[in-house]
Structure 1
């Protein structure tokens, strides 16, 4: 049996333990959120709140990593932040953690948000439900990345090692991470 007792994380918030229950949402629904430059949530739509089992008051002002599932490779988030820092968009498959411990997979499209002067003022993310076929391809990759991270006791070394492995896997299959993800996305339709 999984231990679902609350625990306190580094942020002082009560951390949620995964229950192993997987949840989904309708194919036509989009989960939408916006954050400031630090990744603090400034907007969450009703689908975000329902699927994540949160109230609006519980998420506004909180770091977006509030919904980070512990089984998500850190390398994916490093890639996300590096891509956003370069003022580019990113598509990524992400396993999120709801307030009640359930998990839910998404295909996230994250973009910088720009102010009137062209400066990045925050980030916008739309997430849709991924296909089982795509997840069948992504899960083994994420398991390999997590195994690589667990081999290293220090966080920086773990992220560096899994990022290197992610780069190697992508290079074996595509010209870039973007090409790799678009290959997986295109297979969702087939």
Structure 2
């Protein structure tokens, strides 16, 4: 499905949009990424209203600073039925940007066929942005000069050599590590689990915190 270019801003502005970062951005899409539902926080952060975006492909908010390989990894996992986390820079209606960490639920029918996805997105610490931005810039430059395949090869090698983990685990570890630092090592920070989705992100997205 092709992006409706009339919905894209005419120019990109290097300025973060103002939105309530305590809230969660929620959207639902069909299996190919067509937006079926978006909440009010999505409207606030993206500066698009529901009338504009319902029925449109989700990539209408894709920021040109985002390397394509990140979305390839994301969609490869979602199509396999894997819930997935990613760090994404999105584009607003006026050309501004907002950074989020994503969490996806894969929805299936009784036969196990994927019928859609629910995405939840929340703001993340500036320290996480500063750590992920140089990697994304490198991937984007490789894509521009050498193509998407070369970018993918570098990305896979980076994950193997630099962080020794999958992209999903890298995102979760990076986020949780930085969040723990900013909160002076929250004692409730969960231990790694072999299955990864981590409890830390569960309570981040769903408020599943235990009272002290």
Which residue of 1 is the match for residue 27 of structure 2?
33
**Is the counterpart of residue 161 in structure 1 residue 161 in structure 2?**
no
* 1:79 matched residue in structure 2: 73
User: Greater share of strand residues, 1 or 2?
Assistant: 1
How many residues align? The count is 176
SS at match of 2:22: coil
Residue 186 (str. 1) matches residue 180 (str. 2) = no
CA deviation vs aligned residue, 1:140-159 (integer Å, no higher than 9, x gap): 0001101100113xxxxx22
1:175 pairs with 2:169: no
The residue that corresponds to 1:63 in the other structure is: 57
Show structure 1 runs of 5+ residues with no match.
1-9, 153-157
- Secondary structure of 2:171 counterpart: helix
Structure 2 regions of 5+ residues with no counterpart?
Answer: 182-212
Name the CA distance, whole Å, in 1 between partners of 2:36 and 2:178.
31
CA RMSD between the two structures: 1.5
**Structure 1 residue runs of 4+, over 4 Å off?**
none
Q: C-alpha offsets along residues 105-143 of structure 1, whole Å, 9 cap, x if unaligned? A: 000112321224332101110000011111111000001
Residue 120 (structure 2) aligned to one of 115, 118, 126: 126
CA offsets per residue over residues 90-118 of structure 1, 9 Å max, x none? 11100000111110000011232122433
Which secondary structure state, in structure 2, belongs to the residue aligned with residue 151 of structure 1?
Answer: helix
Normalising by structure 2, we get a TM-score of: 0.78
SS at match of 1:88: coil
Secondary structure, in 3 states, of the residue corresponding to 2:12?
Answer: coil
Structure 1 pair 116/24, CA: closer, same or farther in 2 (3 Å)? farther
Matches of 2:39 and 2:4 in 1, distance apart?
A: 25
